[in-house]
Structure 1
Amino acid sequence: MGVDYYSVLKVDKNATEDDLKKSYRRLAMKWHPDKNPNDKIEAEARFKQISEGYEANSSSLSQVLSDPQKRTIYDQHGEEGLKDMPPPSSNGAGSKGFNPRNAEDIFAEFFGTSPWAFGSSGPGRSMRFQSDGGGGMFGGFGSTDNIFRTKPPPVESKLPCSLEELYSGSTRKMKISRTVIDANGRQIPETEILTIEVKPGWKKGTKITFPDKGNGQANQLPADLLFIIDEKPHDIYKRDGNDLVITRKVNLAEAIGGTTVNLTTLDSRDLSIPVTDIISPGYELAVAMEGMPITKEPGNRGNLRIKFEIQFPTKLTAEQKARLRNVLGG
């Protein structure tokens, strides 16, 4: 039978004209050579075959489906049988009465005067097809700007994350509601759950893109959805690049005689850090590998930096002052 155009168009033999149109629109856009710049040879062959399939089956173009004789001939003998049918005006004389049209013409009939093409030189004919340059069916294909819809800028949303999430990583589920364009060009509502894998060490400003998940609108491709990581304030820790910073208050006796800093890490470990140095104003203690994970260096972390505020006594008795002078050698 040759090429099975029912299979090419992914419809069954009971397909209606609307079924054929919907399938052609979807497949023609999928396999248009300009949509497949990395595999143009296969795309051109598929595109031509899809167009031939629509031509062979569509009543709006060749009246095959509405003509029981033609449809029977195609079902029995395929496209060659249609080509051998005599034209209606020949009264049975001659052959090759079925003459499939150029794939460009069929595509232009669907999209040339619609919002899918920018600029038109007349009904059913896109500017894209005005010059074939002697290059055959696809000789005139160049830039896609004249044929495919524009894409609006991304839709941006902040994704607030706790410091704990950015430390250990997390999985976020985002439910979105949007409108999509169906095969008939109608806007219909749709909901979807998007999954975002927050990686350990991600920083404020990290962007996660979901292509084509924005609202569908006539004349336009759906926008991308862009989520931007934002960092929630933390009660204890502050982030400085890959480091974590905390502040501890110590009294004068602790500053001179030593102390221990006890804290709970962002992944819920208990940490006890002895401080044996004398804590002078501006002193800062760095604890290696207790900061934020470094995304680009798996297994590596920044530092935990402990800043100290020394609380000096506001009032001392004469006896206390004398003792301090003796101890400090004043």
Structure 2
Amino acid sequence: MGIDYYGILQIPRNSADLDIKKAYRNLALEFKKELLDNPEANQIFSLIGEAYDVLSHPLRRAIFDQYGEEGLKKGVPMVDGCFPAYHYHGDPLATYKDFFGTTSPYADLLDVLSNPPLLCELADGTKCLRKKQEPIKHPLHLTLHEVYFGGVKKMKIHRLVFTNDERTVTEVKEKILNVPIKPGIKAKTEIVFPDEGDQNPATIPADVVFIIEDRPHETFVRDGDNLVMTVSVSLEDALLGTTVTVKTIDHRVIRVPITDVISPGYEKIVENEGMPKLEDYPEKGNLIIRFNVAFPTYLPKTCKEIFRKGFHLCKLEGGGIQHEVINKMVLADKILRVVPDEQIPFVIRHY
């Protein structure tokens, strides 16, 4: 004969769902307490959990009522298929927590005893529970210069404050909050000033929260700890090389030579010229230079011929290192086109 789940919960077979819950609650509280002193109670506690798991589920209960424990755990055929074999997960504390919402059903009561809620007394003498107001959030836009060096940002707020000892009358007053800015502070960082909202006898003042946002910069965009800038260059510079002059956030001027051919997606990385790393100060991220290549709107026929010859030579050489051949052809053409007055003088010797 199989297990009688109704007998375990000590209820009749025609019990309502509420009766099942009441029975489980009483038995679970009783035997969970005994678990501390009697290891054998664990088996009973597990059977109580399994009984509730079956009888609180309408379909499982219907299968059990008709086929008993054996049919429930072997599976039975149904009109739309087969009811799968039931197996209890074996963790009565999980069932307990699912029922009570916690492993201790008295947790809320104990919390109230250790941390009693704050009460307020109204003008008519009645008392009410004081709830904390919702946080007041303000965006704090910082320049990259402010993020780079850090410091203190002074923010002015206006709020209601008590003006009498009875804490019943309020008026608007101004307050300056000093917001600490660490070098390299991340965007979306929240800086909280607790209880700096309006004072009210019936509520707890709200927290004032400043959310860091980057103010747009004319040259740089912040990407994590890196700084990204985009430079426009001519096709000639893209092929032959150039030098990019960068005015850094800390007021220096650096010159970055570009000796590679600037191809689509090419980036020049300058190490240690980015933003300070918040968690590893004074280390810095990198400067990433990206490029927009400005193509000429018109190309003379002679220039086309030079490029055509260069690509043709590349094909003859197997198609490799085209940009080097193009560079040599363009340089040769420039030398041949120098005006006579700009040519290097030479001496004719007679023997």
* TM-score normalized by the length of structure 2: 0.51
- Cα-to-partner distance string for 1:76-131 (whole Å, 9 max, x where unaligned): xxxxxxxxxxxxxxxxxxxxxxxxxxxxxxxxxxxxxxxxxxxxxxxxxxxxxxxx
Distance 2:131 2:309 in 1: 82
Which of 218, 223, 227 matches 1:235? Answer: 218
| Correspondent of 1:308 among 291, 299, 303 | 291
What is the aligned partner in structure 1 of residue 161 from structure 2? 180
How far has the Cα of 1:188 moved from its partner? 2.9
1:140-219 equivalence runs, <5 A: 141-145=113-117, 147=119, 149-181=130-162, 182-184=164-166, 185-219=168-202
Q: CA deviation at 1:313?
A: 2.0
Stretch deviating more after TM superposition (287-296 or 312-321): 312-321
Q: Does 1:286 align with 2:243?
A: no
Structure 1 length as normaliser, TM-score? 0.54
Q: What is the aligned counterpart of 1:250 among 209, 230, 233?
A: 233
Query: RMSD of aligned C-alpha atoms?
Result: 1.9
Task: Tell me, in whole angstroms, the C-alpha distance in 2 between the residues paired with 1:146 and 1:199.
Answer: 36
C-alpha distance in structure 1 between counterparts of 2:263 and 2:154, whole Å: 48
Give runs of ≥4 in structure 1 deviating > 6 Å. none
1:143 counterpart letter in structure 2:
N
> How far did residue 270 of structure 1 move?
0.8
Name the counterpart of 2:257: 274
Q: 2:238 and 2:297 mapped to 1: Cα distance?
A: 16
Counterparts in 2 of 1:196 and 1:146: CA distance versus 1, 3 Å: closer
Q: Distance in 2 between matches of 1:190 and 1:318?
A: 76
CA displacement at 1:141 relative to structure 2:
4.9
- Is the deviation greater in 291-300 or in 186-195? 186-195
CA separation of 1:178/1:317 partners in 2, compared to 1, >3 Å: closer, same or farther? same
Distance 1:323 1:238 in 2: 39
* Shift in Å, 1:171: 2.1
CA distance in 2, matches of 1:313, 1:176: 55
The 5 A counterparts of 1:116-127 are none
> Once the 2 structures are TM-superposed, how far is the Cα of residue 161 of structure 1 from its aligned partner?
1.0
Q: Secondary structure at the match of 1:292?
A: coil
* Cα shift at 1:237: 0.7
| Partner Cα distance (1:288, 1:248) in 2 | 18
Once the two structures are superposed, what CA deviation does each residue of 1:25-45 show, in whole Å capped at 9, x if it has no partner? xxxxxxxxxxxxxxxxxxxxx
Structure 1 CA distance for aligned equivalents of residues 219 and 134 of structure 2: 38
Gap runs ≥5 in structure 2: 1-111, 120-128, 315-351
Query: Which residue type is aligned with residue 219 of structure 1?
Result: A
1:183 partner amino acid:
D
Question: For each residue in 1:193-230, what CA deviation from the matched residue of structure 2 results, as whole angstroms up to 9, or x when unmatched?
Answer: 11112111112111111111111012112111111111
Aligned to 2:22: none
Q: Which whole-Å CA distance do the structure 1 matches of 2:191 and 2:308 have between them?
A: 62
State the SS of the aligned residue for 1:319.
helix
- Determine the C-alpha separation between the residues in 2 that align with 1:146 and 1:214: 17
* Aligned match of 1:109: none
- For residues 239 and 310 of structure 2, the distance between their equivalents in structure 1, rounded to whole angstroms, comes to 11
* Paired residue type of 1:144: P
Q: What is the aligned residue count?
A: 191
Identical-residue share of aligned pairs (%): 39
SS at match of 1:306: strand
Matches of 1:316 and 1:191, distance apart in 2: 66
- Secondary structure class of the residue paired with 2:132: coil
- Opposite residue 192 of structure 2, the aligned amino acid is T
Write the letter of the residue equivalent to 2:195.
D
Per-residue deviation, 1:190: 2.3
The residue type equivalent to 2:258 in the other structure is V
Per-residue CA deviation, residues 281-324 of structure 1 (Å, 9 max, x unaligned), is 21111111111111011121111111112222222111111223
Offset of residue 327 of structure 1: 4.8
> Within 1, Cα distance between the matches of 2:118 and 2:228?
55
Tell me what 1:321 maps to.
304
Secondary structure of residue in 2 paired with 1:165: helix
